[in-house]
Amino acid sequence: MNFLRGVMGGQSAGPQHTEAETIQKLCDRVASSTLLDDRRNAVRALKSLSKKYRLEVGIQAMDHLIRVLQTDRSDSEIIGYALDTLYNIISNDEEEEVDDVEEENSTRQSEDLGSQFTEIFIKQQENVTLLLSLLEEFDFHVRWPGVKLLTSLLKQLGPQVQQIILVSPMGVSRLMDLLADSREVIRNDGVLLLQALTRSNGAIQKIVAFENAFERLLDIITEEGNSDGGIVVEDCLLLLQNLLKNNNSNQNFFKEGSYIQRMKPWFEVGDENSGWSAQKVTNLHLMLQLIRVLVSPTNPPGATSSCQKAMFQCGLLQQLCTILMATGVPADILTETINTVSEVIRGCQVNQDYFASVNAPSNPPRPAIVVLLMSMVNERQPFVLRCAVLYCFQCFLYKNQKGQGEIVSTLLPSTIDATGNSVSAGQLLCGGLFSTDSLSNWCAAVALAHALQENATQKEQLLRVQLATSIGNPPVSLLQQCTNILSQGDKIDRRGSKIQTRVGLLMLLCTWLSNCPIAVTHFLHNSANVPFLTGQIAENLGEEEQLVQGLCALLLGISIYFNDNSLESYMKEKLKQLIEKRIGKENFIEKLGFISKHELYSRASQKPQPNFPSPEYMIFDHEFTKLVKELEGVITKAIYKSSEEDKKEEEVKKTLEQHDNIVTHYKNMIREQDLQLEELRQEVSTLKCQNEQLQTAVTQQVSQIQQHKDQYNLLKIQLGKDNQHQGSYSEGAQMNGIQPEEISRLREEIEELKQNRELLQSQLTEKDSVIENLKSSQTSGTNEQSSAIASARDFEEIAELKQELATLKSQLNSQSVEITKLQTEKQELLQKTEAFAKSAEVQGESETVIATKTTDVEGRLSALLQETKELKNEIKALSEERTAIKEQLDSSNSTIAILQTEKDKLELEITDSKKEQDDLLVLLADQDQKILSLKNKLKDLGHPVEEEDELESGDQEDEDDESEDPGKDLDHI
């Protein structure tokens, strides 16, 4: 603190000695008093002196106050006084500054006291940690001054305090608890604290976001009334911007947390908007800026696209378009809404299609695009609004070939409304292009250039546009009319910048002719164009005209570079000779360099949005700067090339195109083979599943056969016991009572055998279908190399299936053996039954009872014989079915043999295909060697050669959705 003491000692008008002594005595009392009341009173007195004598209190009392925070935490009152005192000596708030006119010198020096005392305070990091722990106290007199003190520290030395809080355990989490405080004063100051904490610190921003900050802030905004809320809503929106701006991680978290959907109620404003308070305008402005943060063109394309889709799906885009067409909206809110809608639809096909369908509530309804273009070409509209409409039109056409075609089609003769009842976008652009307002000329030219951006089809279509300039004269093409206006220069009296109209027309012509040889031919077909350009370039004009000269040089260079030599009088070589004679190559290149050296060129190249402070700064378009950067080098090289080099370059280009076609052909072939391989892999996986099912079925069959064996053995044992008791009538009668039950069991066994037979037949049918599928897949796969390889894999599965069929066949044989055993046992049963019947007939008894029994036994025996005959018939049928099953198995084996033969053929074909692939690889290697030699030749000739060619490109196209959300006319603007 020596430097502070020096400052204090050097004051010309310092405090009286009595005040300095008082502060010293109070500090001594704080340090030495044993009673808490004495220390509390001393700290209270220091607080009262800290505003007027900030320097002295800070120098003498800071250490004592920090010690109070450490030792007297049990008393909230003294802690509150100490925090308030520290806040007074650190804060630089004007209302708390010294206001004594007599101490001007002291006031001037105290402006930097806050940062000096802050540096002293945070020199010991434990002080900040102590302050964070005090914020956990719920007592109002501790928490509120603690929040204010920490906020002041962050304002004075933000990065240093942020780093201390970041390494402090649970430091950020403690501060997040302030948002949940039920006392609005603490909650609101907590928002201000988090604003200062999250400023320009990505790590803290991520921690705050994952501490559920989005949920809490959105809840506060909802509770405060959304856009109708007060200053608290503004503070929450500023904090949200801190968390989301330039922080891709938090933006992704915000989108995935479905917080975008919660933004829709912010913009639910109806037509009755007469009472727009200043706070509401500020809130809505920040809300629109927050949306633009999520869909900014500087964000990663994938993140921006996902946010754009989410805004369309939740209806947020529709809500913004409603505001766009509403009445009574303030001009600045309307301008910012247009800019916001622009970035929400930029490059997103679904959103662009929806925007194209929005109509203003006029009679008849007009598309919103037409209504906006009316404002753009209307010179009475505010400049910022016209810039916003131009940006919206550019974003609507960005990567939107469909929209470009719709705009150009409104200029074609077949689509123009003959009745004149409606005004189209194309007519508005032409009207602005030929207006006497230079700003309208520039905006219309740039807008039309964006309708042609990277779209060769529309460049050719626009050549068909014919304009009727005056009655009685034949119509002229749009291209010719643009060059006519360009050649007239300053002859037409225009309002605004002198060069703005010509710059806009030159940018339009350069965009139109680039990468379009047909348009170049049309341009050169007018014999007056080339002399005009060479005359403009050759003149020595002032600095203002240098930009026009550079753009004329660029247009002439495009006419040379993209010239297809279809006009004999304006072939490439002749144009280059003309430049060398009339201008000079060095002079031409120097004039061409005027474009990129212009001070406004770099400003326009930074951001897509045309944001100009005033109309005279509106010179360059962002997309045009990209075109200049792309063409400046190639035009320079084209000017210095000879005719022989041009011929060689054309030959090399043709060779490269041929090579590209060959490579593309083989790539397509490989892509198709990959698709076929994937299909065969899926078929193999299906066959594996079927094989597992068959194995399960076979296992079940084995278990059933084992059950049949056990039941048969049990039956055999029971029959053997019955045969042992045939010696007496009573025993014979008992046996006759048991036999029908056994025969019924035999019937059940036969029924089960029938069911098993049916199951086996169904299994065979499934295997036959599998074999048929394999045969069909084999037939479809023999034409392609990849199919042959996959079929070879399938035959491994066929071999496994063949093995399973053999197993099934053996099981069938075992069942046939079991059936034969059952037949043998049945024959033995019949023989025993007949022997028993004979013995019963030989033993005749005279008694009536015995005769009755004999008759009963005979009846039963006859019934048994009948049932035995039926069983024989059923067994015979089973044997016939078994024979049929064997035949089916034989046919399956023959099919497998055929498949094996075809497999051998496929293996031969695979070998041949491998040889063909080797030949293709050799051919590609030769082609690559040729390309390398050609590239080396090109390099030797001075032609730039790209190291890698992008052969494939993918355009992400979103599905087209249409929804209706009518708006209202912008005539109120």
Threshold 0.85, pTM exceeds: no
- Give, for 825, the enclosing helix (H) or strand (E): helix 785-842
pLDDT in tens, 822-880: 667 667 766 765 655 454 444 444 344 444 544 565 666 666 667 667 777 767 777 67
The listed range with the strongest mean pLDDT (355-369, 622-636, 942-956) is 622-636
Report the alpha-carbon distance of residue 846 to residue 394 in Å, rounded: 126
pLDDT in tens, 454-489: 999 999 999 999 887 766 678 889 999 999 888 876
Distance of CA 252 to the CA centre of its chain: 10
- Name residue 134's amino acid: L
Mean pLDDT confidence for 202-226: 94
Contact between residue 627 and residue 453 where contact means Cβ atoms under 8 Å apart: no
- Give, for 857, the enclosing helix (H) or strand (E): helix 848-941
Q: How many CB atoms lie within 10 A of CB 82?
A: 29
- Per DSSP, the chain holds a count of helices (H) and strands (E) of 41, 4
Task: Give residue 725's pLDDT band: very low, low, confident or very high (50, 70, 90).
Answer: low
Is pLDDT of 119 > 80? yes
pLDDT in tens, 240-285: 999 999 999 999 999 999 999 999 999 987 655 557 889 999 999 9
Question: Which one, of 47, 232, 58, lies nearest residue 156 by Cα?
Answer: 58
Check residue 522 and give its pLDDT: 94
Q: Which residue has the higher pLDDT, 662 or 283?
A: 283
DSSP string covering 538-573, please?
Answer: HS---HHHHHHHHHHHHHHHHHHHT--S-SGGG-HH
Report the alpha-carbon distance of residue 884 to residue 873 in Å, rounded: 17
Is pLDDT of 644 > 90? no
Contact between residue 519 and residue 463 where contact means Cβ atoms under 8 Å apart: yes
Mean pLDDT confidence for 415-425: 62
Check residue 658 and give its pLDDT: 77
Question: Which one, of 396, 512, 402, 400, lies nearest residue 463 by Cα?
Answer: 512
Report the alpha-carbon distance of residue 876 to residue 750 in Å, rounded: 12
What would the two tokens of residue 587 be?
Answer: 């002079």
Check residue 775 and give its pLDDT: 56
Task: Give residue 12's pLDDT band: very low, low, confident or very high (50, 70, 90).
Answer: very low
Task: Name 437's bridge partners.
Answer: 495
> Which residues, including other chains, have CB under 8 Å from residue 708's CB and lie 6 or more apart?
749, 752, 753, 756, 818
Q: State the DSSP code for 474.
A: P
> Which residues, including other chains, have CB under 8 Å from residue 38's CB and lie 6 or more apart?
29
φ, ψ for residue 367, nearest 5 deg: -60, 145
What would the two tokens of residue 592 be?
Answer: 């061409």
φ, ψ for residue 359, nearest 5 deg: -120, 145
Mean pLDDT confidence for 507-534: 94
Check residue 774 and give its pLDDT: 59
Measured CA distances, 440 to 387, 501, 624, 644, 777 (Å): 11, 8, 18, 46, 67
Q: Which residue has the higher pLDDT, 927 or 547?
A: 547
Biggest CA pair distance of the chain: 162
Check residue 421 and give its pLDDT: 52
Report the alpha-carbon distance of residue 118 to residue 87 in Å, rounded: 10
pLDDT in tens, 666-716: 888 888 888 888 888 888 888 888 888 888 888 888 888 888 888 888 887
Check residue 783 and give its pLDDT: 45
Mean pLDDT confidence for 349-355: 96
Task: Give residue 952's pLDDT band: very low, low, confident or very high (50, 70, 90).
Answer: very low
Check residue 171 and give its pLDDT: 87
Q: State the DSSP code for 437.
A: B
Is pLDDT of 95 > 50? no
The listed range with the strongest mean pLDDT (112-116, 780-784, 797-801, 955-959) is 112-116
Report the alpha-carbon distance of residue 118 to residue 150 in Å, rounded: 10
Report the alpha-carbon distance of residue 181 to residue 779 in Å, rounded: 75
Task: Give residue 948's pLDDT band: very low, low, confident or very high (50, 70, 90).
Answer: very low
Handedness of CA 784, 786, 792, 794 (dihedral sign): negative
- Tell me if residue 23 falls in helix, strand or coil: helix
Question: CA angle 903-667-775, nearest 5°?
Answer: 20
Work out the mean pLDDT of the chain and round it to a whole number.
80
Check residue 96 and give its pLDDT: 40
Contact between residue 233 and residue 221 where contact means Cβ atoms under 8 Å apart: yes
Contact between residue 558 and residue 515 where contact means Cβ atoms under 8 Å apart: no
What would the two tokens of residue 128 be?
Answer: 């900040």
Question: Which one, of 482, 489, 485, 570, lies nearest residue 531 by Cα?
Answer: 570
pLDDT in tens, 275-327: 788 999 999 999 999 999 999 999 998 999 999 999 999 999 999 999 998 88
Report the alpha-carbon distance of residue 146 to residue 778 in Å, rounded: 80
What would the two tokens of residue 365 be?
Answer: 């309804």
Least confident residue range of 219-233, 568-582, 618-632, 768-782: 768-782
In the chain the domains, ranked by start, together with CATH numbers, are: 18-90 (no CATH), 119-139+147-201 (no CATH), 402-413+423-641 (1.25.10.10)
Q: Which residue has the higher pLDDT, 890 or 735?
A: 890
Task: Give residue 16's pLDDT band: very low, low, confident or very high (50, 70, 90).
Answer: very low
pLDDT in tens, 892-932: 677 777 877 777 877 787 877 778 777 777 777 777 787 78
Strand 366-367 to strand 476-477: parallel, antiparallel, or no bridges (unpaired)? unpaired
- Give, for 756, the enclosing helix (H) or strand (E): helix 729-781
